[in-house]
């Protein structure tokens, strides 16, 4: 690979190659992730300070014994030793195919280990031959530790942060070809390789001159911006429009890149919003960094734009989840309070009351299980009906269910589940399911003729013991009638015919229930 064995860091000199080498190392060290470049034979050609920190050692450049990776030893996640010749870098150099999101375990000279996430891109010549590869990797040990804890949230994928360097400085990443070519040809070759290097990075990167005019951008930046700005004309940032996090306009000459160049300092830990020509907006974090020549003069800047849409969406979902959880807990506690209060009201048999409370709380838990299985987005009426009846008629020979598909909101699903559980309990204790010949029929329909859609459900028992009508409602029936009226604004009517209990339920359906 035509990448130079650069002069040691800090060495001064008058040749353009030494100046370019110094700027190359400065740009690499500005990247907020570890970077390592290897030649086609796997020999390490260049790495940055973060790589040294991760490896806890400095491999020698162009040393045959340091190939593919600068770490002392490598391991798979399961603890198996990973020879350097079988690393992801070696695979990319053999195949010419990029690899991403690969986890490896790095062992340092002192025996400590860290988990690194690697993204490796091959560097190809004009004919498509592999000249080398670049590895951008970062320490994810803490994240792996969190993932191994029970109940830890999966964390959506984290893209490695990368910086590059200013184009007009003609950054050289090449072998020393001065003996064979003149400086002008070598610098043209280094510029081509510089652009190939930037385009291989999966993160939006662009450069400007000292006055803020854009001098280069990679394809990831084009995708981020949604258009191609004019090189040498567009200033400060290639975004169509910019906004502050609160939605107020952010002039381009006041954007983070403009501040970094005007104040000659790196800008970190700020957010902004980029608007594309099609009107879509992307929240992002910029990492503008000034670049200097060998004499220390400001020659331009490099900026990396990290899309944080996923993190913003995740934070919004978390807030929504917390609010929804708070609402559901309050509703559940209110339901429990109502069940306990009505069960104990006027009851002198505390043992029976305790059993009734336990059974009703178990019924509530079963209803929650149904909703939890569907992320509390609702439930199908058929699933609720089958869950209620299956517990008392496992072979399915003593009940019939008939009705169209109806999607219920969580609130309606809970109330109807509890009502059906009460009807089942009564049928098992006193009604059709207390003997061997009784049956239960459950059917429903949806009335779309009125302004508000309504669910009409009918429970009929047959073949059980003769029913003797009583003016006094049992607790279970009172829970059904009062619960549906109070919770859903519906109506439940229970009649005692000679053939068995009949319960008709009429409740409204929300517009989202289908």
Question: What pLDDT, on the 0 to 100 scale, is given for residue 345?
Answer: 62
Select from 224, 190, 192 the least CA-distant residue to 206.
224
Q: What's the pLDDT tens digit per position in 51-79? A: 999 999 999 887 777 889 999 999 998 88
Predicted confidence (pLDDT) at residue 238 exceeds the cutoff of 90 = yes
In a 10 Å sphere around its CB, with 0-12 CB exposed, 13-18 middle and 19+ buried, how is residue 419 labelled? buried
Q: What's the pLDDT tens digit per position in 244-301? A: 999 999 999 999 999 999 999 999 999 999 999 999 999 999 999 999 988 889 999 9
Select from 475, 477, 478, 393 the least CA-distant residue to 439.
393
d(CA 331, CA 69): 57
Select from 273, 275, 337, 277 the least CA-distant residue to 306.
273
Q: Domain locations in the chain?
A: 312-508
Predicted confidence (pLDDT) at residue 480 exceeds the cutoff of 70 = yes
Instruction: Give the rounded percent of residues in the chain with a pLDDT score beyond 90.
Output: 33
Q: How confident is the model at residue 512 (pLDDT cuts 50, 70, 90)?
A: low
Question: What pLDDT, on the 0 to 100 scale, is given for residue 271?
Answer: 93
Pairing verdict, β 439-447 and 399-402: parallel
CATH of 312-508, one of 3.30.565.10, 3.50.40.10, 3.40.640.10, 3.40.50.300: 3.30.565.10
Question: What pLDDT, on the 0 to 100 scale, is given for residue 11?
Answer: 41
Choice between 151 and 382, residue whose per-residue pLDDT is larger: 382
Q: How confident is the model at residue 187 (pLDDT cuts 50, 70, 90)?
A: low
Predicted confidence (pLDDT) at residue 16 exceeds the cutoff of 80 = no
For residues 408-427, give the mean pLDDT: 84
Question: What pLDDT, on the 0 to 100 scale, is given for residue 169?
Answer: 38
Predicted confidence (pLDDT) at residue 113 exceeds the cutoff of 90 = yes
Question: What pLDDT, on the 0 to 100 scale, is given for residue 446?
Answer: 92
Q: Compute the C-alpha angle 206/212/214, nearest 5°.
A: 40
Question: What pLDDT, on the 0 to 100 scale, is given for residue 354?
Answer: 76
Select from 110, 3, 105, 125 the least CA-distant residue to 61.
3
Question: What pLDDT, on the 0 to 100 scale, is given for residue 260?
Answer: 95
Q: How confident is the model at residue 437 (pLDDT cuts 50, 70, 90)?
A: confident
- Tokens at residue 297, please? 């003069």
For residues 74-89, give the mean pLDDT: 90
Contact (CB, 8 A) for 202 and 340: no
**Other Cβ atoms closer than 10 A to 269:** 6
Torsion from C-alpha of 276, 281, 286, 290, nearest 10 degrees: 30
Q: How confident is the model at residue 17 (pLDDT cuts 50, 70, 90)?
A: very low
- Lowest mean per-residue pLDDT among 76-85, 204-213, 388-397, 471-480: 471-480
pTM of the model: 0.38
Q: Cα 321 to the chain's mean position, in Å?
A: 15
Predicted confidence (pLDDT) at residue 168 exceeds the cutoff of 60 = no
């Amino acid at each position: 690979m035509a990448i130079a064995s650069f002069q040691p860091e800090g060495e001064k000199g008058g040749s353009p190659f030494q100046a370019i080498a110094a700027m190359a190392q400065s740009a690499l060290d500005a990247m907020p992730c570890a970077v390592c470049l290897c030649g086609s034979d796997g020999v390490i050609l260049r790495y940055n300070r973060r790589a040294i920190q991760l490896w806890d050692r400095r491999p020698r450049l162009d040393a045959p014994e340091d190939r593919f990776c600068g770490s002392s030893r490598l391991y798979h996640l399961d603890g198996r030793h990973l020879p350097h010749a079988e690393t992801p870098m070696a695979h990319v150099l053999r195949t010419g195919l990029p690899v991403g999101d690969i986890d490896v375990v790095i062992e340092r000279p002192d025996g400590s280990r860290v988990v690194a996430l690697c993204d490796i891109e091959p560097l190809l010549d004009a004919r498509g031959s592999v000249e080398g590869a670049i590895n951008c990797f970062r320490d994810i040990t803490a994240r792996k530790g969190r993932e191994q804890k029970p109940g830890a949230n999966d964390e959506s994928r984290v893209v490695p942060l990368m910086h590059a360097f200013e184009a007009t400085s003609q950054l050289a990443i090449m072998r020393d070809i001065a003996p064979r070519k003149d400086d002008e040809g070598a610098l043209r070759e280094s510029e081509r390789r510089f652009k190939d290097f930037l385009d291989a990075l999966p993160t939006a990167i662009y450069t400007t001159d000292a006055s803020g005019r854009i001098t280069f951008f990679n394809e990831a930046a084009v995708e981020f911006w949604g258009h191609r700005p004019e090189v040498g004309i567009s200033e400060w940032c290639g975004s169509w429009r910019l906004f502050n996090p609160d939605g107020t306009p952010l002039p381009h000459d006041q954007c983070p890149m403009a501040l970094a160049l005007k104040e000659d300092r790196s800008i970190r830990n700020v957010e902004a919003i980029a608007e594309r020509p099609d009107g879509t907006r992307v929240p992002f974090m910029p990492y503008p960094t000034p670049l200097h020549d060998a004499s220390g003069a400001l020659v331009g800047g490099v900026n990396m734009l990290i899309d944080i849409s996923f993190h913003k969406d995740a934070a919004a979902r978390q807030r929504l989840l917390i609010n929804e959880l708070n609402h559901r807990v309050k509703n559940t506690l209110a339901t429990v309070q109502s069940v306990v209060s009505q069960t104990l009201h006027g009851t002198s048999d505390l043992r029976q009351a305790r059993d009734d409370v336990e059974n009703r709380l178990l019924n509530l838990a079963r209803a929650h299980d149904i909703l939890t299985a569907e992320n509390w987005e609702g439930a199908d009426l058929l699933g609720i009906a089958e869950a209620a009846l299956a517990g008392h008629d496992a072979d399915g020979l003593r009940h019939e269910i008939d009705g169209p598909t109806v999607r219920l909101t969580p609130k309606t699903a809970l109330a109807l589940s509890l009502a059906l559980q009460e009807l089942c309990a009564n049928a098992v204790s006193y009604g059709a399911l207390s003997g061997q010949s009784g049956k239960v029929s459950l059917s429903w329909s949806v009335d779309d003729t009125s302004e508000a859609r309504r669910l009409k459900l009918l429970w009929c028992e047959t073949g059980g013991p003769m029913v003797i009508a009583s003016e006094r409602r049992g607790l279970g029936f009172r829970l059904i009638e009062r619960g549906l009226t109070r919770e859903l604004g519906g109506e439940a009517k229970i009649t005692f015919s000679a053939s068995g209990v009949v319960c008709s339920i009429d409740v409204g359906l929300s517009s989202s229930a289908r």
